[in-house]
Chains A and B, each alone.
Chain A
């Protein structure tokens, strides 16, 4: 029973903080967030097109439905903070400073991509931007992010580490081990669980029976929040609180961001197992539609600005695609090099 009470309390605190933080986003910031969300969606659509054209090999993933969570969360980070994104967080890379060009090269596995063709999609690191991509073993990056948070604390850097996992990945032991370590040591970690209703084909009803994944925070003695992951204001408000808490040295926060995976697990998955009714409901909560309406209502976004954004995004993407297609794969013999550092 105490769990339910605690959950209600958590929600009450959340609502209050959301309201106060809503006033903090300036018009310019909201426009910037909209731009990155739009860019994220357009980028991922071009990735899917390139995959269908056979120009991207391996796999292609979409974070459609997750744009507000990915962009809004990483938006709360400073330059000196660390980002460990997942495969539905393309927007987080972009808002942390990664270029469209680099991300496109990365998806096409070119020699001049950040991972030099040794791995694709978001599986790269860019130390200059403090971005470290995930590996495919879900939750395995949380302990690594924990180590960066530990280094930040030991060196008194005040840098915050933000990382992500899905509803499915929250069942992996690394999720628990990391929260156990971070909570006891008060490490500056923000862990966002993107609860997008499905882990590949497994619905959340087969993944956990708690009312909210954030209820698990109680077990670690840390704050846990469940937020509407399609609402940019709510994402930014709660993530900013968590980042501040981490920076103050008070320890980690668990945030469950409720979203919907609007496409299949990957481009190869038709997701016939997702009830159409569920998709229809979530379509009404499309994060991009919501932010656009918010900005139009507030007269922050005008048709002229929107058209300007679209042109800019389209041109940037086209240039990145052309550049990536003209770039070479690495020379074959590169495969044998750099297994070890000198």
Chain B
């Protein structure tokens, strides 16, 4: 099976869906001739033409509103936010228009919003956000956050085929750092299904997106050095959560660490902790532990950003505390 990068997997998924379904089109800033700020859509304009790859004015609310409108009348738009941070400029469109239309009008809104998100690229406060928790609180939206090239391609395809607004969080640091096996042909990763990325019996790590990778590394170190067996559950989809997978893992291991790159307070980890406390309390052998970025804006200087973010060492420390409990 070919080994490709995370960013190429997204591009291939997009390209295959555009080939498959003529109602799929892209819109966003600098996505055409320039190929997008990260070059996800490089070459798309030449191949598909300007009716399928639509360069827009710099106006996030208009982009997200226009995607909503086009979806309402049967197209399948994929809107790109140049950086996930900028989605705040179109927040109202997503939470009040896109999210509520099916509930209120019984009309599908099959749109995808691509959100290049995350820190660790020295982007500072306004090019590093992980804004998923804001949207997690909004019924009517689906949220996916792939961690591997395989999932990235499978989830972009599933998101495009879904009849609901899907927010696709693609992590910028994974774009060219992470490579993996990706089949050439068509496949989807079902929305709503998590995946065990590392099997284990003693502790569960529930995570998604960029922190899946340091969690796996920490699990391997812990296994070698401490003889503790850690399971890494990659949620892949944040809404709807794969509750069964989370609970079955925790019930088996009895100890759980929840990790995300987003800041801790009000992050999705809180909801996962509540879910476990409500439904798997009797299986727990230790208090639920959470790890996220510290509650500050994303700082710029490398020393500060490193302190800010969760990483392999912090995960390892947390896991050792849990193991010793």
Which A residues contact B (CB, under 8 angstroms)? 82, 115-116, 118-119, 123-125, 127, 132, 135, 137, 140-152, 154-155, 173-174, 177-178, 180-181, 184-185, 338-342
Chain B residues with Cβ below 8 Å from A146 are 62, 65-66, 69
- Indicate whether A150 sits within 8 Å of B93 (C-beta atoms), given known contacts A119-B104, A177-B61, A339-B102: no
A-B contact count (CB 8 A): 124
Most-contacted residue by chain A among B51, B56, B75, B105 (CB, 10 A): B105
Most A CB contacts (10 A, CB to CB) among B59, B71, B102, B142 go to B59
Say yes or no: is B67 at the interface (Cβ < 8 Å to chain A): yes
User: Please, which residues of chain B bring their CB within 8 A of the CB of A119?
Assistant: 104
Question: Given the complex, which residues of B lie within 8 Å of A135, measured CB to CB?
Answer: 96-97, 100
Q: Are B74 and A181 in contact (CB under 8 A)?
A: no
Q: Do residues B65 and A178 form an inter-chain contact, with CB atoms below 8 A? A: yes
If A154-B51, A154-B75 touch, does A181 touch B56 (CB 8 Å cutoff)? yes
CA distance A154 to B140 in the complex (A): 27
With A144-B68, A146-B66 as given contacts, are A338 and B103 in contact (CB-CB < 8 Å)? yes
Nearest 3 CB-CB pairings of A with B: A143-B65, A147-B69, A147-B66
Q: How far is the CA of A169 from the CA of B108 in the complex (A)?
A: 27
Contact residue among B63, B74, B93, B103 (Cβ-Cβ distance under 8 Å from A339): B103
Q: Is B25 an interface residue (CB 8 A)?
A: yes
- What chain B residues lie within 8 Å of A339 (beta carbons)? 102-103, 139-140
Shortest B234–chain A CB gap in Å is 22
Chain B nearest CB from A333 CB (Å) reads 14
**What are the interface flags for B129-163 relative to A under an 8 Å C-beta threshold, 1 for contact and 0 otherwise?**
00000000001101000000000000000000001
Bound: A280/B200 CA distance, A: 80
Q: List A contacts of B72 (CB < 8 A).
A: 125, 132, 144, 147-148
Binding site for A on B (CB under 8 A): 25, 27, 51, 54, 56-57, 59, 61-75, 77, 92-93, 96-97, 100-110, 139-140, 142, 163-164
Cα(A138)–Cα(B72), bound, Å? 19
Judge whether B25 and A154 touch: CB under 8 Å: yes
Assembly CA distance A125 to B106 (angstroms): 9
Query: Which residues of chain A have C-beta atoms less than 8 A from B104's C-beta?
Result: 115, 118-119, 123-125
Pairwise interchain contact B164-A177, C-beta atoms closer than 8 A: no
Known contacts A144-B97, A154-B75, then 19 further A-B pairs from the complex at CB < 8 Å, ordered by chain A residue:
A115-B105, A125-B104, A125-B107, A127-B107, A132-B105, A135-B97, A140-B92, A140-B97, A143-B64, A144-B68, A144-B69, A147-B71, A148-B69, A180-B59, A181-B57, A181-B59, A181-B66, A338-B103, A341-B109
Q: Tell me which residues across on chain B come within 8 A of A124, comparing CB atoms.
A: 104-105
A180 to B58, CA, bound (A): 9
27 pairs, CB–CB < 8 Å, chain A vs chain B: A116-B106, A127-B107, A132-B105, A140-B65, A140-B96, A143-B68, A144-B68, A144-B69, A144-B72, A147-B69, A147-B72, A148-B69, A148-B72, A149-B69, A150-B70, A151-B74, A151-B75, A152-B73, A154-B70, A177-B62, A178-B65, A180-B57, A338-B103, A339-B103, A340-B163, A341-B110, A342-B163
Q: Enumerate chain B residues within 8 angstroms of A127, measured Cβ to Cβ.
A: 107
Q: B140 contacts which chain A residues (CB < 8 A)?
A: 339-340
B50 → chain A, closest Cβ, in Å? 10
What is the CA–CA distance of A181 and B65 in the complex, to the nearest angstrom?
11
Kindly list chain B residues whose C-beta atoms are within 8 Å of the C-beta of A184.
57
Residues of A within 8 A of B66 (CB): 143-144, 146-147, 150, 181
Distance of A154 Cα from B48 Cα, bound (Å): 13
Give Cα A146–Cα B27 distance, bound, in whole angstroms.
13
- Could you say which residues of chain B place their CB within 8 Å of the CB of A342? 163
* A181: B residues at CB distance < 8 A: 56-57, 59, 62-63, 66
In the complex, A177 Cα to B86 Cα: how many Å? 15
Contacts of A142 in B (CB 8 A): 65
Chain B nearest CB from A86 CB (Å) reads: 15
Bound-complex Cα distance A142 to B140 (A): 21
Which of chain B's residues has its CB closest to A184's CB? B57
Indicate if the CB atoms of B65 and A144 lie closer than 8 Å: yes
The 8 Å CB contact of A178, one of B25, B62, B73, is: B62
Cα(A93)–Cα(B140), bound, Å = 27
Interchain CB contact under 8 A, A140 and B69: no
Complex Cα distance, B63 from A185, in Å, reads 13
Shortest beta-carbon distance from B297 to chain A in Å: 24
- Min CB distance B9 to A, Å, is 26
Contact present for A147 and B68 (CB under 8 Å): yes
The answer for the CA separation of A147 and B72 in the assembled complex, in Å, is 9
CB distance from A139 to the nearest CB of B (A): 9
Among A116, A127, A181, A339, which residue has the most Cβ atoms of chain B within 10 A? Answer: A181
Checking A118, A125, A151, A174 against B62 with a beta-carbon cut-off of 8 angstroms, the contacting residue is A174
- Flag if A174 contacts B103 (CB, 8 Å): no
Chain A residues lying within 8 Å of B57, measured Cβ to Cβ, are 177, 180-181, 184
Expressed in whole angstroms, the minimum distance between the Cβ of B65 and any Cβ of chain A is: 2
Within the complex, the shortest CB–CB distance from A81 to chain B, in Å, comes to 12
Q: How far is the CA of A148 from the CA of B69 in the complex (A)?
A: 5
Complex Cα distance A185/B54, Å?
Answer: 10
A174 touches B163 (CB 8 A): no
Contact B105 A137 (CB under 8 A): no
Contact of B70 with A338 in the complex, beta carbons under 8 Å: no
Closest residue on chain A to residue B27 by CB atoms: A150
Contact, CB under 8 Å: A143 / B163? no
CA distance A142 to B69 in the complex (A): 9
Closest CB in chain A relative to B195 CB, distance in Å: 22
B112 CB to nearest A CB, Å: 14
Minimal Cβ-Cβ distance residue in A for B141: A340
**How far, in angstroms, from A115 to B57 measured CA to CA in the complex?**
33
List, in ascending order, chain A residues with CB within 8 A of B51's CB. Answer: 154
Q: Are A150 and B102 in contact (CB under 8 A)?
A: no
- How far apart sit A340 and B102, CA to CA, in the bound complex (Å)? 6
Q: How far is the CA of A145 from the CA of B67 in the complex (A)?
A: 10
